[in-house]
Amino acid sequence: MTERKDFSGLTVAAFESRMAQEMGRLIERYGGKPCVAPAMREIPLEENPQALTFGDQLLAGHFNMVVLLTGVGTRNLIDVLQTRFPHDSIKKALGDTVLVARGPKPVGALKELGLWAHVEVPEPNTWRDLIRAIDDFKPEGIRGLRVAVQEYGVSNPDLLEALNKRGGLVTPVPVYRWALPQDTGPMENTINSILAGKVDVVLITNAVQVDHIVNLLEQHQSIELFKQTLAKMVIASIGQIASERLQRHGFPVDLEPSHSKMGILVKETSERAHDVLKQKRSIS
């Protein structure tokens, strides 16, 4: 009989917000005990002066390139612009620029408008992949080009610096930001379970989750204890951006999925969790 390769009863913590229920069901499907606590609350910037200023400049033909980092951000940006500008004017102005889409979600948002991306950034859709895609598309460089970057909750200084170093005239366009949940109780309970050693696996699906976990840990002066506890658990990150944020805070990264998708993250982590746990706990 083939040995079953899944969580097999391990307790799995996750901080997914938008798809919290789906995450819980996935963990259960692969044999785990879910402990899911949303770590983020999305706040649209409905009165967004930066986006409206961007709209004025866009319709005036100011920008040569627009970088779209998320599907939700692209849709929110269009919604904000439509409070002041006609839809057809927005569509025409965007169509007259080079559109760079970081992955399939902003590509899909553009298709809803009847537009397409001139540059599609391949997986894992990191800022480095984005820069390489722009370099490949513009081998002559972007020096002197006016580049707008639709941001996604928090600014990405590495991306902005790389564009600036190439001589681009960069305008960040924040469209929405992330906040802690209004009720942080479930999130704090999950963190306390991790600190108490009651969790075997932690799944991270967004870099901002890491910042918000750190925010709560700092309030309770528990950062060092959290680091020590993670040394005995499996930490799985959905991709390079989230992994870099974990490592920036001094947290380990044990696993990344073959593709940056939530279902693949859960499945592949379930298949490898016991082996990783055995190794980490034998060392510690």
Q: State if pTM tops 0.75.
A: no
Per-residue pLDDT at 200 exceeds 50: yes
Residue 18 in domain: yes
Categorize the per-residue pLDDT at 2 as very low, low, confident or very high, splitting at 50, 70 and 90: very low
Instruction: Report which DSSP code applies to 154.
Output: B
Confidence of residue 185 (pLDDT cuts 50, 70, 90): very high
Domain co-membership, 209 together with 120 = no
Is residue 189 within 8 Å of residue 164, measured between CB atoms? no
Instruction: Evaluate if residue 3 carries a pLDDT over 60.
Output: no
Residue 1 lies in a domain: no
Report the CATH number at residue 123: 3.40.50.10090
- Which one, of 91, 66, 77, 83, lies nearest residue 44 by Cα? 77
Q: DSSP string covering 60-91, please?
A: TT--SEEEE--HHHHHHHHHHHTTTS-HHHHH
Contact criterion met (CB below 8 Å) for 233 and 194: yes
Going by pLDDT thresholds of 50, 70 and 90, the confidence category of residue 202 is: very high
Q: Are residues 65 and 29 in the same domain?
A: no
Q: Is residue 240 part of a domain?
A: yes
Residue-number span of the structural domain to which 264 is assigned: 11-40+182-283
Residues 113 and 234 occupy one common structural domain: no
Same domain, 166 and 240: no
Domain boundary among 138, 157, 179: 179
Q: Is residue 278 domain-shared with residue 236, that is, in the same domain? A: yes
Asked whether residue 82 falls in the same domain as residue 155, the answer is yes
Co-location of 19 and 77 in the same domain: no
- Residues 58 and 160 grouped into a single domain: yes
**Do 25 and 51 sit in the same domain of this protein?**
no
Domain boundary among 145, 179, 213: 179
Q: 165 and 79 in one domain?
A: yes
pLDDT value of residue 45: 67
Q: pLDDT at position 14, please?
A: 98
Asked, for residue 53, whether it belongs to a domain, the answer is: yes
CA proximity to 197, closest of 277, 276, 253, 252: 277
DSSP secondary structure letter of residue 176: E
Q: Is residue 124 part of a domain?
A: yes
Say if residue 106 is in the same domain as residue 167. Answer: yes
Q: Is residue 3 part of a domain?
A: no
pLDDT band for position 125 (cuts 50, 70, 90): confident
* Domains identified in the chain, total number: 2
Per-residue pLDDT, 175: 86
Please tell me the predicted confidence (pLDDT) of residue 241: 85
Task: Report how far residue 123's alpha carbon sits from residue 258's, in angstroms, rounded to the nearest whole number.
Answer: 10
pLDDT tens sequence across 13-26: 999 998 999 999 99
Based on the fold, state whether residues 47 and 125 are members of the same structural domain.
Answer: yes
Residue 6 within any structural domain of the chain: no
Last residue of a domain, one of 148, 179, 210: 179
pLDDT at 155: 81
Of residues 72 and 249, which shows the higher confidence score? 249
Q: What is the pLDDT of residues 130-146, one digit of tens each?
A: 999 999 999 999 999 99
- Which pLDDT tens digit goes with each residue over 56-115? 999 999 999 999 998 988 998 999 899 899 999 999 999 999 999 999 999 999 999 999
Residue 135 maps to a domain:
yes
